């Protein structure tokens, strides 16, 4: 791989090529499997080492934090604390043997309440499919449809804006207009269109588009698998979601490999 090719791949992944240069790269991927393989490896490294994805607390589950807060503030925990205070007061006022028995009995009951409460909140819980979808979808990480240093279509500019403001139907219509005007289908805008249909719950159309992406030789073909898995989670089809996630985890350098493994643990 020459330094010029390395620079070309770098600029492609940074979305800084012109429309004609992007088309040239994607055509070469179709005809040159070695170049395609090298680009996919670089893309995986690019995604993995993206500093925007770094976080000192990225492995901390917000659900766990919420569970601890709920436990501390829960009715059962409050009852436990109040019971301890009340029984201790009784014990201090009456040191007789009968009172000691009452204290022991109440202490045991209160302790049992705390144990049950702790188990209820702290044992691992299975998230619903919709919760997993909401936790996994991150549309801000999508590559932009707007290409730098080029005379980009007004349609795609407006489609990008519409998508980012969740006007998904408008985004779809603008992407369709671009495809009709140019008689070309851009991989990234096709992905946006598939996701827009998914967000509008047009599942059949979304699945048709995502299948076409995942079975293609486009650079974003692996993203097609990921969003197809999310579609099945959103739709509530657990077994289909598992099937696609297992396809992703069968390839260690696949896009969203780590995230797919985590979701499979929850299913």
Per-residue pLDDT of the chain (267 residues; tens, 9 = 90+): 677 888 888 888 888 888 888 888 888 888 888 888 888 877 776 665 554 443 333 344 455 445 545 554 556 556 655 665 565 556 555 544 544 455 455 555 555 565 565 555 554 555 688 888 988 999 989 988 876 555 556 888 899 999 999 999 999 999 999 889 888 888 899 999 999 999 999 999 999 999 999 999 888 899 999 999 999 999 999 999 999 999 999 999 999 999 999 999 988
Please tell me the class of the 131-266 domain.
mainly alpha
The DSSP code for 58 is: T
Token look-up 């969003």 returns 227
Asked if residue 136 lies in contact with residue 259, where contact means CB atoms within 8 angstroms, the answer is yes
The CA distance from 133 to 145, in Å, is 24
Between vectors from CA 236 to CA 190 and to CA 194, what angle results, nearest 5°? 5
Handedness of CA 87, 88, 90, 95 (dihedral sign): positive
Q: Where are the domains of the chain?
A: 1-54, 62-122, 131-266
Q: What local confidence, expressed as pLDDT, does residue 248 receive?
A: 95
**Whats the size of the chain, residue-wise?**
267
Q: What local confidence, expressed as pLDDT, does residue 167 receive?
A: 96
Q: What local confidence, expressed as pLDDT, does residue 239 receive?
A: 94
Q: What local confidence, expressed as pLDDT, does residue 84 receive?
A: 56
Asked if residue 240 lies in contact with residue 129, where contact means CB atoms within 8 angstroms, the answer is no
Between vectors from CA 130 to CA 125 and to CA 131, what angle results, nearest 5°? 45
The CA distance from 262 to 100, in Å, is 50
Provide the 10 A C-beta neighbour count for residue 30: 12
Q: What local confidence, expressed as pLDDT, does residue 68 receive?
A: 47
Token digits of residue 209? 């588009």
Token look-up 């730098």 returns 148
Asked if residue 246 lies in contact with residue 265, where contact means CB atoms within 8 angstroms, the answer is no
Helix extents (H) in the chain? 3-13, 19-31, 33-48, 62-73, 75-93, 97-122, 129-136, 154-164, 168-182, 187-199, 203-214, 221-235, 238-249, 257-266
The DSSP code for 217 is: -
The CA distance from 136 to 263, in Å, is 9
The CA distance from 144 to 140, in Å, is 9
The CA distance from 214 to 225, in Å, is 6
The CA distance from 166 to 100, in Å, is 65
């Amino acid at each position: 791989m020459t330094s010029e090719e390395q620079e070309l791949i770098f600029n492609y992944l940074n979305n800084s090529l012109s429309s004609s240069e992007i088309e040239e790269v994607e055509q070469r991927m179709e005809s040159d499997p070695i170049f395609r393989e090298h680009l996919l490896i670089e893309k995986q490294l690019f995604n993995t080492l993206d500093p925007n994805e770094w976080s000192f607390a990225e492995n901390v589950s917000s659900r766990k934090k919420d569970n601890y807060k709920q436990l501390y503030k829960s009715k059962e925990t409050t009852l436990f604390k109040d019971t301890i205070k009340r029984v201790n007061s009784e014990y201090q006022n009456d040191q007789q043997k009968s009172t000691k028995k009452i204290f022991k009995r109440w202490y045991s009951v209160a302790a049992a309440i705390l144990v049950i409460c702790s188990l209820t909140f702290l044992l691992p819980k299975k998230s619903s499919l919709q919760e997993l979808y909401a936790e996994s979808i991150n549309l801000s990480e999508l590559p932009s449809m707007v290409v730098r240093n080029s005379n980009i279509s007004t349609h795609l500019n407006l489609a990008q804006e519409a998508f980012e403001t969740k006007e998904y139907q408008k985004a779809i219509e603008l992407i369709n207009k671009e495809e009709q005007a140019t008689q070309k289908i851009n991989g990234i805008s096709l992905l946006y269109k598939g996701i827009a249909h998914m967000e509008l719950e047009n599942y059949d159309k979304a699945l048709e588009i995502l299948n076409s992406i995942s079975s293609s030789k486009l650079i974003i073909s692996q993203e097609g698998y990921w969003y197809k898995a999310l579609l099945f989670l959103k739709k509530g089809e657990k077994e289909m979601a598992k099937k696609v996630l297992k396809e992703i985890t069968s390839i260690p350098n696949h896009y969203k490999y780590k995230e797919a493994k985590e979701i499979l643990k929850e299913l």
